[in-house]
Structure 1
Amino acid sequence: MKKNYYLLAMLLVSSLTFFSACSDDDDNGGGDTDETVKSVTLDATAYDKWMYFSFKDGKSVAHEIEPAAGTYKGDISLDVTGMGNMGTVSDLNLVVTRLEGDSLTFALDEFDFSQYKDIALKAGFNIASDTIGWTLTGGTVTAGNIVITPKGNVNGDSINLIITTRPGSMPMDLIVTYKGKLETRGGIDETSFDWDIALHRYDVKTNDGSALDTKETDITKVTTVPASGYVADVRTDSLMLNTNGMQLPTPKIGYTPSYWNEVLNKGIEFSSVPMPPTAANWSMSNMVYVIKLKSGEYAKIKFTDYSNDADVKGHISFDYVYPFK
């Protein structure tokens, strides 16, 4: 009798185990994979910010993009009114610092030319988008016994600055022309926090990663990690940062250098025709992409929408799997 009870118990346990295993397979979509597809929507509407995202913890954070502030190295030429050009000085550092909004300040501390020594040129100016870059304009500033009037422009990583000064009681102006190249950009230090991809309107970049197009539209059907074909980010000088002057016929749009991934950028594309933008300007590839992260891990991603429920463009939704093995 005891043997019969024992056999009945064993059959019951085996049956429960079998049905439990079948139930788990059904939850995973047929048992082909145990991966979890996650979905997220990020607000990437701001032109002056990157929205950074970490696959590992699913967190995002936005940081402003800096178009001009930083440390430049370049040369100056000195002209004295009525006397002509007095020569040049090479390898001088110019430090441009953002105060707030469109207000910047600059410091050319190493200015030391002939009898004009120990003159620290410092002043403020405002930055505005222009047809080819950014215009720097400033009013007349009195610093100690020096009257300073700065103006110039920033285009990509280059700065051109004309500083008109009149030290002390001199009857003529000193015109300092500075031309420099960016060495260290100001703003957020992207190495100070964890992130894998960043979104900017319809632009996408990776954190020292690379990506490929799987040519598949169903994220669950991409089941193996491709061995090759990944494309790294490339530099661009055309990241649109300020659209306040977009009016035709002479648009003044502020661009800044950055990096983006040309493969991932095809996930959500924006066309400049027609203008002003309509729904026809936006298109989606519906493709699944695999991203090779800086850590050597992989993630797969599919962009699913580019607007929120109110049809505001720049709210980017995507499905992803991490880690993808």
Structure 2
Amino acid sequence: MKIKDVLVMAAIGLLGAACSDDDNKGSQWGDGVGGTKTNLDVSAYDKWTYVNLKTGETEIHPDTSEWIYTDGSVSEPKGKETIGIEWHIAIHRYEIKTNGGMVFDTEKTNMNEITELPEGDYKADENITNEDEEYAIITDMSKMMQGNVGYAKTATVNKVLCSWVKKTETGSMPPTIYEPTMHVIVLKCKDGSWAKLQFTVAGNSETNKSGFVTFNYEFIPIK
């Protein structure tokens, strides 16, 4: 198995709930509620950050799946998640899943251009395995220097949401360059509400450290 997204260190997030200082009660992009998450730390390989797009709340929880390593060893599942907030998306570094939603890439780059739920080919989340070369979820980099990396044996991601970032392999350091497409992506939630998402920065905008995201969002509740 090829080792993907090789980095020297992974920052470990803390379990808890938080709101970004940039979150707004209203929205500058329409009649919904939303704001901007700036430099959201999603750098921990062994955790997911769950986001409530209506309130701006976040919670960080460990990945609870079975992990398989490049040396063939397998860990036990970590148990069952207990998430305290209503959540709409969850982010693992640059991979994203939804809470039973459907996603459409509008290919537009202006949030203001989308004033109603657009028609399109909405895609649900997909189940993947550690064998997926593009979407496999790295969960443990503690033995990376020995060439032994842990992956989630199975996981769920939304490939349309994951396409927010373009990855270019360099063959040197850094091994991968991440560039946001700036596309406005629409999330249709299972309860009929929907949201607009635009990821604008891959990495920390101040330190350039990998594993941070900045994105604009607007949540439109059921009318």
TM-score calculated relative to the size of structure 1: 0.52
**Larger relative strand fraction:** 1
Residues 62 and 202 of structure 1: CA distance in aligned 2, closer, same or farther (over 3 Å): same
Consecutive aligned runs of 4 or more in structure 1 exceeding 3 Å deviation: 32-37, 269-273
Residues 321 and 214 of structure 1: CA distance in aligned 2, closer, same or farther (over 3 Å): same
Paired residue for 1:302? 198
Structure 1, unpaired ranges of 5+: 1-27, 69-126, 136-152, 160-181
Q: How many residues align?
A: 187
**Offset, 1:215:** 1.2
Cα distance in 2 for residues equivalent to 1:269 and 1:186:
33
Q: Which letter does structure 2 place at the counterpart of 1:57?
A: T
Residues 244 and 33 of structure 1: CA distance in aligned 2, closer, same or farther (over 3 Å): closer
Paired residue for 2:187? 291
Percent of aligned pairs sharing the same letter? 29
Instruction: Work out which structure has the larger RCO, using CA pairs closer than 8 Å and 6 or more positions apart in sequence.
Output: 2
Task: Pick the structure with greater CA Rg.
Answer: 1
**Offset, 1:277:** 2.8
TM-score calculated relative to the size of structure 2: 0.73
Residues 49 and 275 of structure 1: CA distance in aligned 2, closer, same or farther (over 3 Å): farther
Cα distance in 1 for residues equivalent to 2:59 and 2:219:
19
Structure 2, unpaired ranges of 5+: 1-26, 130-135
**Larger relative helix fraction:** 1
Q: What's the RMSD between the two structures over aligned residues?
A: 2.8
- Where do 1:57-96 residues align within 5 Å? 57-68=55-66
Residues 132 and 208 of structure 1: CA distance in aligned 2, closer, same or farther (over 3 Å): farther
**Offset, 1:132:** 5.5
- Where do 1:30-49 residues align within 5 Å? 33-35=30-32, 38-41=35-38, 42-49=40-47
The answer to whether the 8 Å contact 1:202/1:270 transfers is no
- Where do 1:1-325 residues align within 5 Å? 33-35=30-32, 38-41=35-38, 42-68=40-66, 130-131=69-70, 133=72, 135=73, 153-154=74-75, 186-190=79-83, 193-237=85-129, 238-247=136-145, 251-256=147-152, 257-278=154-175, 281-308=177-204, 309-323=206-220
The answer to whether the 8 Å contact 1:45/1:314 transfers is yes
Q: Which letter does structure 2 place at the counterpart of 1:188?
A: E
